[in-house]
Amino acid sequence: MITKKAAEQCGLKPTGVVMSQGVHEAKECNTYLATIWLPNHVPVLNIKVTEADSITGGVDALIGMDIITQGDFSVTHGQGSTVFSFRMPSEAATDSVQEKKAPIKDTHHPSRNAKCSCGSGLKYKKCCGK
């Protein structure tokens, strides 16, 4: 989706009209053909985008599953910085939940027989206390 303001700023011309179902009503909306450049210099060529009156959050475009499912999409946030990345074609399955988490740094030292605060389920002395 793209706002009318963004479509005008990009010099896009309407290529058609579709019925779009909103929260309260269905209405006719302009469509455009656009090339979208994602991070990592990944182009998505001649994709059909639908005009929206507004998009929540003050953004001018939303990327849909029709684009996201063409590759590996990732949003990470570490050390105060949010990074959005995309690669196409998909290269490998990743699962952050399955990856070993870094131990949580604690300012106090638990007893050696206490469960570790990193969530591993191991005793501190066998995990982060090594």
pLDDT single digits (tens) 74-90 = 888 888 888 888 887 78
Pair 118, 62 in one domain: no
Pair 83, 113 in one domain: no
What average pLDDT does this structure show over 100-117? 66
Pair 111, 50 in one domain: no
Tokens of 7: 């479509």
What average pLDDT does this structure show over 98-126? 70
Pair 13, 65 in one domain: yes
Pair 57, 8 in one domain: yes
Domains in the chain, number: 2
Q: Hey, which residues does 21 pair with through a beta bridge?
A: 26
Answer whether 0.75 is exceeded by the pTM: no
Query: How high is the pLDDT of residue 72?
Result: 84
Range of the domain at 126: 100-130
The better pLDDT of the pair 9, 74 is held by 9
